[in-house]
Structure 1
């Protein structure tokens, strides 16, 4: 099968090549898929895309016209894909939903610990030869109430980790998992109840029309004063403007982000020579109690290998006339 890979990141290509083992003819492009770059897929039966790619109806129609019949998203999130349009055209779409819940959950905990123990400020002080501890008094995770918004595969792993820390666990999900209640004493509650009780909230819900800006002024205003919010899910679940207002008022005491609602065109690229034109993002970075990482939660050797393996398994299935492992 001929495959065109868009938005190829340098660090992921070796994993994809190793998983493929020359079974499929693969053409890699660093460029994102857009209406301008869609002709690069001419002659390919399948394309592989990432988070920044444009899979709107017009682009999907172009892909179909160029002979593409299969689309593989190298990520769990598929909000950038117009699935109804893809299905109308006859395009088969698959994604990689379970590459490593451990990678994301562990990164969420890393953000929690870094914020709780002021590691960003501690590092800055030490590098300036300042070893005073006055501004570095933190808090322990043990005994804290942590609310998990979206208790799927990642949320379940996070629950297990935090149970080991001795945290009290709350969860919000459309499909409660009684096994987590039995194993980790996780209590399912409503979102308002979670916000009122949680010292720390970790977001792992997918981005849908219902969850976009789920965390808005009203929800953030209902948090315990000084609460910590961690988002390693999807950037659009959090209203950035509302978060800035909550930080300014002190209602939000700590904010850890691995995703950002306007990250397209910003993350995954070197902008050291470019001015930062995103005023909201620049404002976030001025807060000492905000820690932002550039969508690196998934970035482990294990996760990259799993993504590549699942991607190639999808191509194998389609080439043999079978459904891919995770078709939508």
Structure 2
């Protein structure tokens, strides 16, 4: 078998740490070309001469990019992520198959969602900064017990289920909403499925774990936010586009929400995963969001554990191996 060449877009140092050791297997001659740039219409030409490409969440395949890749003879697109809202599947239909990593570490994301909730509620990030500066005052650090509060989980895939189980461990009542309820799981863990609108009205904590689709884009909008309990907290480790950020800012300005903890943002591809500490943030919406004392923002970090990175590398390379050796596509995203 001839060496398979893959253009690896949006490379970070940790990608090399987890992919390189796996490339030593002589049974599958694979060569990765690590590229620091993100994939898009202006960089798609860099894939010329390669058999396939590997992309991450901030790479973009629109119709123009898809056409360039197809004309260059790209045989497969391997996502090293579960989500694929950054890929125009219709533009690729019948041209280039797309495979993904469907579940790399649901525990990583679920645990991180809960850590955001605990940090925002108990203000441990603020306490840490204060004490480092010699300020031991407790003023302004008041939180509330999670015990007997109501948590609403929107989306009960693996991550949503694990989050619900963790919150049940705090003694919380857990409500759930999903187009495909898991009745047996819900019964076993004391979770109650209800419709999404009722969940939004009743919950003290709302945690988003659903994929981003055209149907639910910005479903957390001014109407949904206004129907939430005064003082409710919203957690988003799913996709930024689930929340209308301008409407979220309005709700925060009105002091209706207790707070928001966001690991994702609608326009995150401009800033997330990169160091912009020496620059002025030009995104006025993001800059405004960062001014609120009851908003906690992290940079799409929820997946970032050793276990998850190992699983991503292993599954991605296995997807490529099975495609080129056996023409198998175990984790293909159907484009028809």
Same fold flag (TM > 0.5): yes
Q: Deviations over 1:117-157 (max 9, x none)?
A: 01122123212211111321211222111000111110011
Distance 1:169 1:19 in 2: 41
1:267 and 2:272 correspond: yes
Give ranges in structure 1 of 5+ residues lacking alignment.
none
Asked whether 1:11 is paired with 2:7, we answer no
Deviation readout 1:167-210 (Å, 9 max, x if unpaired) = 11101100000122222111111112111111100001111101
Question: Is 1:283–2:297 an aligned residue pair?
Answer: no
Q: Which runs of 5+ in 2 are unaligned?
A: none
Q: Which residue of 2 aligns with 1:25?
A: 31
Asked if structure 2 preserves the Cα contact closer than 8 Å seen for 1:34 and 1:59, the reply is yes
Q: Could you state the TM-score of these two structures normalised by the residue count of structure 2?
A: 0.95
* Structure 1 residue 255 corresponds to structure 2 residue 249: no
Pick aligned residue for 1:151 from 143, 149, 156 = 156
Matched, 1:66 2:69: no
- Cα distance in 2 between the residues matched to 1:162 and 1:118: 18
Distance of 2:306 and 2:216 partners within structure 1 = 30
Matches of 2:331 and 2:136 in 1, distance apart?
Answer: 51
Q: After the TM superposition, which of the residue ranges 238-247 and 280-289 deviates more from structure 2?
A: 280-289
- Of 70, 78, 83, 1:77 maps to 83
Report whether the alignment pairs 1:206 with 2:211.
yes
> Residue 259 of structure 1: CA displacement?
0.1
- Which range moves more in the overlay, 95-104 or 123-132? 123-132
- Shifted more, 301-310 versus 30-39: the winner is 30-39
User: Match of 1:46?
Assistant: 52
Q: How big is the shift at 1:20?
A: 2.9
Structure 2 distance, partners of 1:165, 1:251, is 25
C-alpha separation in 2, matches of 1:132 and 1:55: 50
Question: Paired residue for 1:231?
Answer: 236
**d(CA) in 2 for partners of 1:218, 1:282:** 23
- Cα distance between partner residues in 2 of 1:53 and 1:268: 12
* Cα displacement (A) at 1:215: 0.2
The CA deviation at 1:322 is 2.8
Q: 2:198 maps to which residue?
A: 193
Q: What is the alpha-carbon distance in structure 2 between the residues aligned to residue 132 and residue 80 of structure 1?
A: 45
Shift in Å, 1:299? 0.5
Give the superposition deviation at 1:105: 0.3
RMSD of Structure 2 on Structure 1 (CA)? 1.1
Deviations 1:259-306 (A, max 9, x none): 000101210111122211111111111111111100000000100000
Any conservation in 2 of the 1:170–1:187 contact (CA below 8 Å)?
yes
Q: Distance in 2 between matches of 1:21 and 1:153?
A: 32
Secondary structure of the residue that 1:210 maps to in structure 2?
A: coil
Match status 1:86 vs 2:89 = no
Match of 2:327 in 1: 322
TM-score by length of 1: 0.97
